[in-house]
Amino acid sequence: MPPMNEAMMPPRRQYDALNQQSSPAVTTEMPIPACNMPRRQNSSDDDLLFLHPGPVDLIYGAETPLRTEVVARHLSSVRRRRKRINHLSLLGSELVNPKGLFKLLGKKLKKFNVKELAINQIPSMNNEELISLAPFLNATKTLKILDLSGARFDAKALQEILCFFMKNPSLEVLVLGDNECVGDEGAAVVSSLQEGRAALRTLSMQGCGVGSSGVASISKFLGSCPSLRMLELSNNMIGDAGVELLAESIKSQSCQLEYLGLNSVEVGDRGVLVLADAVKTNRSLTSLSLQNNRGITSFGAAHLLKSTYNTQSLQSVLAGNHVLTNLNIRGCSRVGESLLKLAEDLLSTQAMATHQVIRFKVSKYTEKKGNGIVLEGFDSKLLPHILSFVAQTNGLSYLFQSIRSMPPLHSQYELSSKVEEVKSNDFLESLKTPKRTKMVYELFGSSFPRQRSIMRHQGGRRANKHEAPMKSLSCNKKCKNSLSSKK
């Protein structure tokens, strides 16, 4: 019986570098018919692959051993019906004849325009098996997703498919996780992807034995690949030197990276300080994971959090990085509980828009400092004028509510430049003069939003609700006539 097609199986596993740490869900394969089963029964089983029009998905699970002749029969059926294979997966399958199967795939897959190939968690895939796939990989121009995680090949085998890395224009996702044999030399081969013209969006090399020299090749590729959005380098001995190289690439304007995974990479405070400096200027990175790095202490974590939430002043809070909302430092045992709690609080802003993140940080800052501290952004000479104006128009409490609910107000108005226009030794005495009072109101009236009045139509015009109703013109004429008659 053939493997289940797309209509009979759960949705395919999404190739997202954020979820590479957990093992993929294994798709269960239907029992494979015995070799002595009549050919007519095999033919009817193969027809199950073509119940629906369009490309075919071949997904083999791990329940039963996978024989080479079964895969060959399925490929022949697809070829005979002139179909295209969209997705081919070997998810933890037990291969009866690994060498024969990979030779078959390297020879036959060139004819089907395969878009996704996943050979996941197959320890029997060594150098020889990957080299057997070279005829297909070096010739394909349609493959978008390649997952070779959990294998045992090294840089020599990757060198055999160098043509694939240098000339494939369509590859978007490359996963080589959980293969310590790749090393720095393998990272250098992978970094030759299209030499700056790659369409790659996700690169996962988690647990690939990459060191500082391998990260040097990856960081150079990162600066020349603006399409890359996710980079997973967890469980590698990168250290402070490797993180510093990555931080320099993140500062580049061409870098549009959104996720960077650096869990368990032996980084300390030195590398984190350089990374914090890069995060201050980067406005594309939304998620940074630094879990289980014991070298990070409270000193380094404080500087990293300061790049996104600097509580030195209200202006520093507004000037922080509000794009990086997922800063994960869980499992760093030398970081204080207060900083871990602050990082958890900031994680709650992941689903918020940028203006909502700003308001969350400002409200958190004012709760800690008190409402009076919100006036620190204005010149001290202007505070009496501001308090007087707001108290006369909307009330003193509205001043604090307006500033607290509208954080951009602090950075949009520079009132200190207009101090010279209002000069008086005694502010209260100056307000007794109507001309001076009018000038003060005009000066600050355009800088603060007035409380919205409840309006209603009256006599064909918009009027204030609390305004006394106007008398009609005819009524006014009657009053004048009555007064004149009395006289």
Listed residues 116, 135, 153: the one ending a domain = 153
What stretch of H or E contains 456? Answer: strand 455-458
Residue 406 CB partners (closer than 8 Å, separation 6+) = 449
Q: Nearest Cα to 20, choosing from 172, 214, 176?
A: 176
Residue 237 maps to a domain? no
Check residue 145 and report its DSSP letter: E
Give the type of residue at 297: T
Name the more confident of 309 and 478.
309
Q: What's the pLDDT score for residue 228?
A: 94
Q: How far apart are CA 487 and CA 409, in angstroms?
A: 59
* Total number of domains in the chain: 2
Q: What's the pLDDT score for residue 46?
A: 61
Listed residues 153, 170, 194: the one ending a domain = 153
Listed residues 153, 185, 205: the one ending a domain = 153
Residue 110 maps to a domain? yes
Phi, then psi, of 455 in degrees rounded to 5:
-105, 150
Residue 4 maps to a domain? yes
Residue 472 maps to a domain? no
Residue 372 maps to a domain? no
Give residue-wise pLDDT tens across range 70-89: 999 999 989 888 888 999 99
The pTM (predicted TM-score) of the whole model is 0.70
Give residue-wise pLDDT tens across range 269-327: 999 999 999 999 999 999 999 999 999 999 999 999 999 998 887 778 888 899 999 99
3-state secondary structure of 204: strand
Alpha helices in 140-182, H assignment, sequence order: 155-160, 162-167
Q: Nearest Cα to 326, choosing from 293, 285, 296?
A: 285
Residue 113 maps to a domain? yes
Instruction: Answer whether 173's CB lies under 8 Å from 147's CB.
Output: yes
CA angle 321, 322, 327 (to 5 degrees): 80
Q: Nearest Cα to 282, choosing from 231, 220, 239, 324?
A: 324
Q: What's the pLDDT score for residue 383?
A: 54
Give the type of residue at 285: L
Give the type of residue at 266: E
Name the more confident of 362 and 458.
362
Q: Give the dihedral sign, CA 409/412/416/421.
A: negative
Q: What is the DSSP string of 404-450?
A: HH-TTHHHH--GGGGGGGS--S-HHHHHTSHHHHHHHHHHHHTTSPP
Using the predicted structure, report yes or no on whether residue 447 has a pLDDT greater than 70: no
Rounded mean pLDDT of the chain?
A: 76
Instruction: Answer whether 23's CB lies under 8 Å from 177's CB.
Output: no
Residue 365 maps to a domain? no
The CB density around residue 81, as the number of other CB atoms within 10 Å, is 12
CA angle 91, 129, 168 (to 5 degrees): 80
What is the CATH number for 14? 3.80.10
Q: Nearest Cα to 18, choosing from 304, 257, 213, 220?
A: 257
Q: How far apart are CA 100 and CA 198, in angstroms?
A: 32
Q: Give the dihedral sign, CA 28/103/140/130.
A: positive
Name the more confident of 433 and 423.
433
Q: Range of 6's domain? A: 1-153
Q: What's the pLDDT score for residue 145?
A: 95
